Amino acid sequence: MYKVVIIDDEPIIVEGLTSLIPWEKYHCTVTACAYNGIEGLETIRTEKPDILFSDIAMPGMDGLQMIAALKVEFPDMQISILTGYRDFDYCQLAIRLGVSRFLLKPSNMKELEEAVKAMTEVLDKRYSGGQDTEPEENMAGSFIVKKALQYMESHYQEKISLSLVAEKTYVSQWHLSKLLNKQEGKNFSEILSKIRISHAKELLKEPEYRISDVAEMVGFTDVAHFSRVFKKVQGISANEYRNTKI
């Protein structure tokens, strides 16, 4: 039996999907439901379902990032989206990230059963060794890395950590670390240092800022640490760099 999880912030939809779809006909069973994105992620990580039906526009959750995170952690899981969001580009990106079906609310029973049938057929082939998940996983991984880099670029002045960025992109620290190393060839600390030093180089061109000011402005709490990192990244000290630019 394939395990199914249903996530929607409208209880009537969760109840309808659970009771009206003839799950046994498709060798499925609903093992858990959730009513918001955060609770849903926890439920998925606990249940590890084969199939997910989920809304994509729940409060406090970026639906596309959630999909990408799930495809990174559970590449075999089949996902159907139920939503009132009628944007074609959004739909196309969701499908490229690995969504099996993008169903507009209200969906009729024929559409829902067709989605279940399609997902179980894919699972049958996948578990018999007949289908590759790598393209979907790579697309989802690239999406997560892009979002992680955007967050780091926007918040480099703050005290940010691997755990915080992983939380913001909905993946585990282990998965984010693995993705950054695979796609960027650097670990989290190296990437963050490169971003911070890139901004520091621009600030060092302004003579009114002391080096300690620049260090603080790009997120370093210790000027000595900033100096070590700057020299490691650039090959020369911050002061030497400044002298070549002013």
Of 45, 64, 56, 44, which is closest to residue 4 (Cα–Cα)?
44
Q: Within this chain, do residues 226 and 207 fall inside the same structural domain, yes or no?
A: yes
How remote is the C-alpha of 212 from its chain's centroid?
A: 35
List Cβ<8 Å contacts ≥24 apart for 37-43. Answer: 37/7, 37/61, 37/63, 37/66, 39/7, 40/5, 40/7, 40/66, 41/66, 41/69, 41/70, 41/170, 43/5, 43/7
**Per-residue tens of pLDDT for the chain, all 246 residues:** 999 999 988 899 899 999 999 999 999 999 999 988 788 888 999 999 999 998 877 766 777 788 888 888 898 899 998 887 676 777 778 878 888 888 887 778 889 999 999 999 999 988 777 675 566 668 888 889 999 999 999 999 999 999 999 988 888 899 999 999 999 999 999 999 999 999 999 999 998 999 999 999 999 999 999 999 999 999 999 999 988 876
Question: Considering the entire predicted model, what is its pTM?
Answer: 0.77
| Residue 114 belongs to domain with CATH number | 3.40.50.2300
Q: Within this chain, do residues 109 and 167 fall inside the same structural domain, yes or no?
A: no
Q: Within this chain, do residues 115 and 99 fall inside the same structural domain, yes or no?
A: yes
Q: Within this chain, do residues 126 and 6 fall inside the same structural domain, yes or no?
A: yes
**Residue where one domain finishes, among candidates 108, 131, 154:** 131
**Residue 230 domain boundaries:** 137-245
Q: How many domains does the chain have?
A: 2
Q: Within this chain, do residues 102 and 172 fall inside the same structural domain, yes or no?
A: no
